[in-house]
Amino acid sequence: MPLAIVLYFPVKLMFTITIFLSLIISAVGITFISITGAGYKSLRDFGLIFLAITLGLNASVVVKKKLSLSEVSTGIPHIKVKSFEGTILEDAQSLPDGRSLFTLMLKRVSDGHGTEASASGKVVIYYRGTLAYGWGAEIRVDSALKSQKDSGKEDFFSYPGEEDIQFLYWSSPLLKLRYLMKEKVLRSIQKMGKPAAGLFGALFLGVRDDLGVLEREYFRRAGSMHILALSGMHLGIIAGLIFFLLSPIAGKRYSFLISLVILSCYILTTGLKPSLLRAGVMFFLFGFGRLIARETSPLNILFLAFIILAIAMPSSVNTLSFKLSFLALFGILVVSKRVIFYLNPFLPRAVALSISASIGAQALTSILVIPVFGVIYPVGIIASLLLAPLITVFIALGMLYIVLIQVPLMDQILRFLLFFIYKWVIELVKLFSLFPGLRIERNWEYTIYFISLLCFFTALSYPVIKNFKKRV
């Protein structure tokens, strides 16, 4: 029944009704099957399959509907556009060459001679200077549009000067509040003093404006750029600190609910980064499962988080950060289990777990990293082992600094500790950056050869390690 509704109901005319009815009928049907077929596992599984098909079809309809809203249209030829208006979709990001960029959703365009038209699509804007606004701001840009169709993309880019960008209004009071909160936290971070403030700003808010070009290069060549990218590791550190402080007072249940609210505010403040959203959704699903005393599989939660984000934010699925985030965790959950088998006989358990997680993440992400960047840094596996505990302490101390900044003497002690750890972090990445990277042609064939050889030698070594374990 739900399958028939999804396939034959006039979706284009009754989109909302179609989704609503199919989901309701699916939910009622699977509930009925679960109750009446309690003793028939095959019948229950059959019902689950039909529910999965229905949800998948609904998801595809939602994704198609949302993607259709982002079609490119300028109303007048883009080569004649002299100014345009739209909504900023993300906070500005600084580039190594001193410029910044952000993405704008087009609303209106003008040719400068009185002709205006509605428009849609995205514009990547490169500029030099600083903006006193971010995600959610409506702006006017007096600059030409350049097409990116020749590069395989459907949006545009523009190179205005700082004086060519004019703020109009905020599209949402919530987004204005978010921006003001982020700026307030940034001002508190800057009081730490350079250079520790630059590193903490990158680790805590994803703002790399005060992080030096040389420091970024150290992290890149040490195979540790993932540490600077906001991810589940950062969210885990924040959640762990909240639990540590609140659990003795409020208990685990209320600590989870309070941390969920705080983490939601944090994810919103940072600008809804795909990797943080993935970690946040997984944190909620895992915590909710524990609250209702249900068994939770990290792999199942990862897949469910992927489905939820693909439906809610379909445009993010094609971004590199989204793909790398899921591939890295999938590698940690699946590949590392196999790798640790080889490491256990030789290394302490904690060290083996850490190295196997790094290998698992790098093995899966290299599938994308090699074709895109043409180089990988295997030394990052060892670098992460030493950097992870330092970064954890650094972030925890930085959060305490923001909270205790007004407490006399404490801010000075915390500033000293932050600078001390910062020096250790930079010296380590500087050391590991001396190791050469593995450069590979940006070709899928070479990637496949590389992975095939890795699997081949792994398979050959399996019986050797297995026999060694038996003897030990």
pLDDT in tens, 237-267: 888 888 888 878 877 778 888 888 888 888 8
Q: What is the pLDDT of residues 304-347, one digit of tens each?
A: 888 888 777 777 777 778 888 888 888 888 777 777 777 777 77
- What's the rounded mean pLDDT across residues 99-122? 84
* Residue labelled with tokens 């970024």: 216
Structure confidence at residue 37 (pLDDT)? 47
Structure confidence at residue 388 (pLDDT)? 86
Region of poorest pLDDT, from 96-100, 171-175, 442-446: 442-446
Q: What is the mean pLDDT of the chain?
A: 76
pLDDT surpassing 80 at residue 50: no
Are 376 and 181 within 8 A, CB to CB? no
Q: What is the pLDDT of residues 112-128, one digit of tens each?
A: 777 888 888 888 888 88
* Burial profile 380-415: b = 16 or more Cβ within 10 angstroms, e = fewer: bbbbbebbbeebbbbbebbbbbbeeeeeeeebeebb
pLDDT class of 19 with cuts at 50, 70, 90: low
Structure confidence at residue 138 (pLDDT)? 92
pLDDT more than 70, % of the chain = 75
Structure confidence at residue 429 (pLDDT)? 92
- What's the rounded mean pLDDT across residues 139-157? 73
Name, of 117-131, 166-180, 271-285, the range with top average pLDDT. Answer: 166-180
pLDDT class of 13 with cuts at 50, 70, 90: very low
Distance in angstroms (rounded) separating the CA atoms of residues 435 and 426: 15
Q: What is the pLDDT of residues 400-418, one digit of tens each?
A: 898 888 787 888 888 999 9
- Among 38, 128, 115, 22, residue whose Cα is nearest residue 75: 115
Region of poorest pLDDT, from 17-21, 71-75, 379-383, 394-398: 17-21
CB atoms within 10 A of CB 298: 13
Spatial neighbors of 236 by CB under 8 A, at least 6 apart, are: 279
Stronger pLDDT, 144 or 57, i.e. the higher one: 144
- What's the rounded mean pLDDT across residues 56-63? 52
pLDDT surpassing 70 at residue 186: yes
pLDDT class of 428 with cuts at 50, 70, 90: very high
Q: What is the pTM of this model?
A: 0.73
